[in-house]
Amino acid sequence: MTELMTFGKALNAGLRRAMAEDDHVLLMGEDIGPLGGVFRITEGLQDEFGESRVLDTPLAESGIVGTAIGLAMAGFRPVVEIQFDGFVFPAFDQITSQLAKLTNRLGGARSFPVVIRIPYGGHIGAVEHHQESPETYFAHTPGLRVISPSTPNDAYWMIQQAIAGNDPVIFLEPKSRYWPKGEVDTEAPALPTPYRSRVARSGTDVTLVGHGAMVTVLLQAAAQAESEGISCEVIDLRSLSPIDYEPVLESVRKTGRMVYGQEAPGHVSVGSEVAATVMERAFYSLEAPVLRVSGFDTPFPPAKLEGVYLPDADRVLDAVDRSLAY
């Protein structure tokens, strides 16, 4: 059955289904109980499943993640909500020094199925520490899966797949996408893995690649380019670690050109890694250098300047024009 849902409601429905199917799934986070979280993603779940499975925690991110690690060791499947992207850093040591390494440290004797949900990115006019793009830190850390859906349907299925897997998962939710609606097929079989890239729009002239909220921007750019006679193919990575490169490489071999778009700063980023890999593995198919469009290499600015900082369709189209000029 297909339903029209916002991205946020799709996440809520996915969490509800995962909790209903496995009573070892627990939700933890600040204000996620009666309030339903800052973005209301867990709204109604404490009423349905009780306080022992939807836990309001103290304002202590390191303690939240540390507790989740212990619960995973005891056989539970904790899902942690970090209230805002900028608040994940107090838990950074627990995530990168402990959670990411414990399975390897124990020789595979135990798995740690902890999902850490992080609302991330801009476009909501928030203050400092409430608009960050920290994905590169986690994608750089061996032992973590890092995924980011861009549509309500992917949000619904990918949160369930993340919870069902046995790896620690950083689940990045583009907060600017919480409210737009999309079709969600709640009866379709789950994707075989949440880590496959997808072709969001077919094209022949330039490949546009991105993740999270930038996928929407890339689709907007592709629609504008079409009016100018330029055909852009758009690839949604879905996963930042590991990255499923085959759809990207197949597209680049067809178009000969690629532009990567992201909200995060460009220096030492996911876009940098994808660009380098495409240059290595599809060099003889390229008609132009791989180009990147990103946030600037500065701290995220005050809300009034986010429109200057964040890449928009015009900046993507400028890169498309530069690529086609070679």
Residues labelled as active-site residues:
130
Nearest to 137 by CA among 128, 146, 129: 146
Distance (Å, whole) CA 227 – CA 181: 25
Distance (Å, whole) CA 74 – CA 95: 18
What percent of the residues of the chain are helix, what percent strand, and what percent coil, each to the nearest 5? Answer: 40, 20, 40
In the chain, what is the greatest distance between 2 CA atoms, to the nearest angstrom? 60
Distance (Å, whole) CA 271 – CA 241: 12
Task: Please report the DSSP string for 193-245 in residue order.
Answer: -TT--EEEE--SSEEEEE-TTHHHHHHHHHHHHHHTT--EEEEE--EEES---
- Residue 86 makes CB contacts below 8 A (sequence gap 6+) with 128, 129, 130, 131, 132, 134
